[in-house]
Structure 1
């Protein structure tokens, strides 16, 4: 599929020069990435693609396969071993690869880095200087200064937070150019105007009760925000507003501001944050779901004793009373109607069981009218169901389910069913049968009849009054037969989130906008269904742009979009705020680009980029002035366990001029010297390891093989934590207490050192300081150390003192010391053995000679040895056998 004019310009800008491409949401950043992959799908190239999820990989591969691209990109996962990965690298082409696998292969020289054509980085707004992708790019630029680096992002807002955010990202990406493509770019506007969509705006008004509920909720949110600002002066008043509280990411913005001081906040402030989250949920339910769901939510909040007793005070405001009254009004009608109903009832029980009115959603009726209009137009134009397909895009799966139920059963039916389920049963009332409810509450939906009650075995064979078909359910990829209305036998939907087969004429597909199991599911459905009509049940900026792009790429096909929205509602304001924030983000980036000063060596191709420089000399290391010659600095090295590459610490260690050697370690996480081993834990890992006993086994292994074992605990200084409860302070040692277990660890392992570090940056600095003046570790030796459970039990059967002494002797290593302790009773017995017997015992003549000389050499004279066999001395002070220092676990 060819690119549009503005997409061609995007592609050419990024193709000719390395840089960061930032586009507006929905303008086709995935199409640009796909074309870069398409261009380099050749064995003569070796291009690596980073930061792409598995669903995105599947989508891109499918699109390339449709366009006939060969060979297709390969996907490298942990299913391939090291040798297989190395051979795949040598085959060339485009490779999708996880960052953890690639950084290990780069450090072990499995990747022919000199032959790498370039690297494509997707979702570049997530790149920070300590992440794995930044580590990969730094390793790449150190050994390859000719390959390209292209970065892509469609989240301009992410580059505006923090200090010089876009400059920091570009520094980590090793790029100098910034390409900006907002929706208001002249080329984009020109392209979209040439292929305009037929848009029908359906402006709805909230019912009086809904409007009253909305006003009450906004007043409550405003009151909570004012109180929050009063209690927390450090909060940013410009960001914490009622308008921003309507957006999706407001909770995240609020927590980012409060996280550094969260442990200093009082209970009232924390409760205000929780109440704001609750009120935002209530506001979303008002415009998103039906009256019964909304009333059930507000009623549960009010009736909950925990919430009622622990709220910040908003439940006692007049606005809260107004919210509850008008939410109830949507169920039972205005107050005067309810009073008349009470007079008409005869018994007290009937007085409590008022006849519900059950106000229907205005969008439901509008949806019925739109579908009736579509069906009428298809009949006039003589279009079949396959030619006049309709796609309904709603907010989430719950909304899609309600739309499906409404179109199949009618609004009154599902409202009555939900009323019986959520309201009537809680009051202890008997559930009314569906037929009785339908007689009492006539169907108000226009153009849609109710479902017939004829029992059917197969959903495909069901029939309804006025062309309704029974919904089969959610599409399953493993199901071969799908619900295909008449004339649509060849249509197959790959998205698991789509509802299909609701109506036979027009053919309707319902798909959620957010919360999908497949992030590309909506685009898949759009391409597979090829709809003539699209109903935007809920507004979404990104999908609107995708529809514009869909129309531009298919200029000959008609497309009509019905834009359904509540006028003067928070739904409308949320959509407008999203547009405004993206526009302001691009304006900020444009101003930043105009004033940004980027050094020529930023891209690292000259080999002297500032972001390639590594601090190889610690601040505490001094050079002696008495040395006459300049010594070549020793290469610093740290052995790192493979599993640790999920964290950012290896990258930070490498930035300090220390080489990283990745191996599979059974004992410890980091070997920084031949004698020093580090087991790294977060606070949550520490508590879990203490509770399940795993930390004890790890300490046993470290103390057995390393002279200086270290338990390093990392914590976040901006977040509070506690190793014991608020009222658990006691002088007695309890095995259930975390602090007691940690104390027992320190008692049982006196060699163990416990270090606390406030961040990975501090940990990297500490490791650099600990390595000063010490030897470098050996990866091969570290890999021989094993921590199998049977070995721990075996070692505890012997005295630890003689074991430690034996392991320090020349010729003794982790492979042969077991054989010695099984065959020899004590060190005294060992010294009486002949060199020939030691050779037989150790299995190596060199090790036997080293040990024999060490045991028998005194003052340079070799004593004459005996040829006797070992005889056991039961009472030797240096016996290996005996009761070990086994501690209670």
Structure 2
């Protein structure tokens, strides 16, 4: 393991044994800090639980620490560091399989994506262990608004917020010692590419205007810049109002995503691949279901220009020519250099391989390197973290074919950790393009997010975000829950209301009769009468409302006296029916 940087050492000291929420800038390799933190608790006398990891991240950390991942059975009694999914931890805690009172602490990664299962697990831990630490980390500051960061801090029961942006003085000092030699290549787009980009932006603007016209007051924050953001970012913006959007609005959103994909492809692919992506959009089937953008003059210009680029005299992507020129220049050196070309998609790597080798490697699609004079050239897709890839190839020259904030930061960190040799990084980007705008927007959003978080931290009073974790009790009875249903939020909500939750394993078709509780598959019937004339209430738990027609639900509710229907959705997903009034009419009729 290479040496730790000053900001990494400072972070490690700030987090050891402390309740905290750490939010760092993307690309600072916080995973490395977490590995060092977990390594300090490998002693069997400790027991640290790790939740909230992604599959690949968990495998990397588990392999580095020499412990089994959550997919393998492990014993809590052995101590050390244990990777476990939140659902399994909740079930084990409710069944008293894990000694929560003896747990040293809980580490949660990807705190920006905290779900009901993680919240349930942390509350159980804090109820049974008031002194163990909870450490949550995230490298996605833009996912935290002022409201959301307070909510997350309440969920993890901590009032210590650690902020480490790229402009933090310690980070700046650590990364400014030895920096890569950066060569920016602002490539000019061809006239046809510029016209295609203008047409696509005009069509995207049409979709945004129509969405705002059809949904006044709902999508006022939506603009072309938001529509150009990543699909996940756009979906998070739309989720709270998704249930209120009609079919045409949803089609407009789908068309906006298609146009965004085309804009990115224009900067990454060759003319033939771009034209192939347009072909399905000219079919009668797509024209019938589209939102109408195909009828605009800009759409006709788009198809004509794309076809013209792929005519007899095919247009070569200017980035490809610039890349070939860089390789030609670097190959003139007498030394044997390794050159690493990084692109966002493997498909782009294959296209570049065929172009740079003059189709010599076309028969071997899996080939990722070739020889250029004395240089060995590797083509790899961007992965995170980059350090294992850089350590494996030991390149002297790196070419970033696609602008990526995380990749730039990781190259800075790698160079600071490994001062020799000094890297030469070529940053290839289309000047004045959507690609450049997206890169600058990502930087601005992160900076704005951190500035808002700094203000929020300054306004937090002592104990303002602390909450009472409550005590475990069966004050309002006991509910038996199938272990598969712990993926949902309902068991968590029941536990918050001081209902004792008992996990059990049911077989499909089981019919269980218990005093005052009837359970048939996912339908729960509870006798809730407390008056002189007891009346039977039915509580329907619908795991996937799309698989149960409203008419079926209404028919079942009419058969019960005082029936109630309960459907679970994502917290920000809203109600997916056309309107609440239509559901009420169906039930009452």
Short-chain TM bin: 0.7 to 0.9
Match of 2:205 in 1: 222
TM-superposed CA distance for 1:34, in Å, is 0.5
Match of 1:714 in 2: 542
Find the partner of 2:67 among 63, 73, 79.
Answer: 73
Secondary structure of the corresponding residue to residue 331 of structure 2: helix
| 8 Å Cα contact 1:677-1:709 kept in structure 2 | no
TM-superposed CA distance for 1:281, in Å, is 2.2
Quick check: 1:146 aligned with 2:131?
yes
| 8 Å Cα contact 1:206-1:362 kept in structure 2 | yes
| 8 Å Cα contact 2:476-2:500 kept in structure 1 | yes
C-alpha distance in 1 between matches for 2:570 and 2:476: 21
Assess, with a 3 A threshold, how the Cα gap between structure 1 residues 712 and 555 changes in structure 2: closer, same or farther: same
Match of 2:566 in 1: 757
Match of 1:374 in 2: 330
Tell me, which stretches of 5 or more residues in structure 2 are unaligned? 526-534, 572-589
Secondary structure of the corresponding residue to residue 174 of structure 1: coil
Secondary structure of the corresponding residue to residue 164 of structure 1: helix
Q: Cα RMSD over matched residues? A: 3.3
Match of 1:404 in 2: 353
TM-superposed CA distance for 1:251, in Å, is 3.7
| 8 Å Cα contact 2:481-2:502 kept in structure 1 | yes
Quick check: 1:394 aligned with 2:343?
yes
Quick check: 1:365 aligned with 2:321?
yes
| 8 Å Cα contact 1:709-1:752 kept in structure 2 | yes
Secondary structure of the corresponding residue to residue 276 of structure 2: helix
Assess, with a 3 A threshold, how the Cα gap between structure 1 residues 507 and 669 changes in structure 2: closer, same or farther: farther
TM-superposed CA distance for 1:372, in Å, is 1.6
TM-superposed CA distance for 1:673, in Å, is 5.1
Count of residue pairs the alignment pairs up? 560
TM-superposed CA distance for 1:746, in Å, is 9.9
Match of 2:583 in 1: none
| 8 Å Cα contact 1:641-1:669 kept in structure 2 | no
Higher RCO (Cα < 8 Å, 6 or more apart):
2
Match of 1:525 in 2: 389
Secondary structure of the corresponding residue to residue 52 of structure 1: coil
Q: Where do residues 348-497 of structure 1 align in structure 2 (5 Å cutoff)?
A: 356-377=312-333, 379=334, 382-383=335-336, 388-410=337-359, 451=360, 472-474=364-366
Secondary structure of the corresponding residue to residue 507 of structure 1: strand
TM-superposed CA distance for 1:752, in Å, is 12
Match of 1:3 in 2: 4
Secondary structure of the corresponding residue to residue 297 of structure 1: helix
The superposition leaves residues 507-553 of structure 1 with CA deviations (integer Å, 9 ceiling, x where unpaired) of 22222226xxxx65x44322211211111000110111011011011
TM-superposed CA distance for 1:135, in Å, is 1.0
TM-superposed CA distance for 1:751, in Å, is 9.3
Assess, with a 3 A threshold, how the Cα gap between structure 1 residues 310 and 50 changes in structure 2: closer, same or farther: closer
Assess, with a 3 A threshold, how the Cα gap between structure 1 residues 212 and 147 changes in structure 2: closer, same or farther: same
TM-superposed CA distance for 1:53, in Å, is 2.7
Secondary structure of the corresponding residue to residue 162 of structure 2: strand
C-alpha distance in 2 between matches for 1:676 and 1:30: 47
Quick check: 1:118 aligned with 2:105?
yes
Structure with higher Rg: it is 1
Secondary structure of the corresponding residue to residue 31 of structure 2: helix
Quick check: 1:307 aligned with 2:286?
yes
Assess, with a 3 A threshold, how the Cα gap between structure 1 residues 95 and 524 changes in structure 2: closer, same or farther: same
TM-superposed CA distance for 1:502, in Å, is 6.5
Match of 1:261 in 2: 244
Match of 1:247 in 2: 229
Secondary structure of the corresponding residue to residue 310 of structure 2: helix
Find the partner of 2:78 among 80, 83, 91.
Answer: 91
Tell me, which stretches of 5 or more residues in structure 1 are unaligned? 65-71, 333-355, 411-450, 452-468, 475-482, 484-498, 603-608, 617-632, 682-694, 700-706, 725-737, 763-889
TM-superposed CA distance for 1:637, in Å, is 2.2
Quick check: 1:194 aligned with 2:174?
no
| 8 Å Cα contact 1:149-1:173 kept in structure 2 | yes
Find the partner of 2:167 among 170, 178, 184.
Answer: 184
Secondary structure of the corresponding residue to residue 357 of structure 2: helix
Quick check: 1:331 aligned with 2:200?
no
Assess, with a 3 A threshold, how the Cα gap between structure 1 residues 473 and 721 changes in structure 2: closer, same or farther: closer
C-alpha distance in 2 between matches for 1:721 and 1:150: 39
Assess, with a 3 A threshold, how the Cα gap between structure 1 residues 195 and 174 changes in structure 2: closer, same or farther: same
Q: Where do residues 23-38 of structure 1 align in structure 2 (5 Å cutoff)?
A: 23-38=24-39
| 8 Å Cα contact 1:680-1:714 kept in structure 2 | no
TM-superposed CA distance for 1:117, in Å, is 0.8
Find the partner of 1:664 among 494, 505, 512.
Answer: 505
TM-superposed CA distance for 1:723, in Å, is 2.4
Please give the TM-score of this superposition, normalised by the length of structure 1: 0.59
C-alpha distance in 1 between matches for 2:570 and 2:257: 33
Assess, with a 3 A threshold, how the Cα gap between structure 1 residues 669 and 754 changes in structure 2: closer, same or farther: farther
Match of 1:507 in 2: 376
Assess, with a 3 A threshold, how the Cα gap between structure 1 residues 187 and 94 changes in structure 2: closer, same or farther: same
C-alpha distance in 2 between matches for 1:145 and 1:543: 40
Assess, with a 3 A threshold, how the Cα gap between structure 1 residues 113 and 214 changes in structure 2: closer, same or farther: same
Assess, with a 3 A threshold, how the Cα gap between structure 1 residues 404 and 565 changes in structure 2: closer, same or farther: same
Please give the TM-score of this superposition, normalised by the length of structure 2: 0.87
Assess, with a 3 A threshold, how the Cα gap between structure 1 residues 252 and 358 changes in structure 2: closer, same or farther: same
Find the partner of 1:613 among 465, 470, 481.
Answer: 470
C-alpha distance in 2 between matches for 1:124 and 1:549: 23
TM-superposed CA distance for 1:18, in Å, is 1.5
TM-superposed CA distance for 1:300, in Å, is 3.6
TM-superposed CA distance for 1:577, in Å, is 0.6
Match of 2:549 in 1: 723
Find the partner of 1:594 among 423, 448, 458.
Answer: 458
Match of 2:426 in 1: 562
TM-superposed CA distance for 1:310, in Å, is 4.0
TM-superposed CA distance for 1:500, in Å, is 3.8
C-alpha distance in 2 between matches for 1:25 and 1:207: 33
The superposition leaves residues 654-707 of structure 1 with CA deviations (integer Å, 9 ceiling, x where unpaired) of 1111222222233789979524223464xxxxxxxxxxxxx9xx99xxxxxxx9
The superposition leaves residues 264-322 of structure 1 with CA deviations (integer Å, 9 ceiling, x where unpaired) of x2x433332232122222222211211112223334423x1123344333223222232
Quick check: 1:585 aligned with 2:454?
no
The superposition leaves residues 576-619 of structure 1 with CA deviations (integer Å, 9 ceiling, x where unpaired) of 011111111101101111112342792xxxxxx42x12697xxx
C-alpha distance in 1 between matches for 2:562 and 2:521: 12
Assess, with a 3 A threshold, how the Cα gap between structure 1 residues 206 and 189 changes in structure 2: closer, same or farther: same
C-alpha distance in 2 between matches for 1:679 and 1:584: 51
The superposition leaves residues 26-75 of structure 1 with CA deviations (integer Å, 9 ceiling, x where unpaired) of 001101110111111111111111112332122123444xxxxxxx3333
C-alpha distance in 2 between matches for 1:672 and 1:237: 52
TM-superposed CA distance for 1:17, in Å, is 3.0
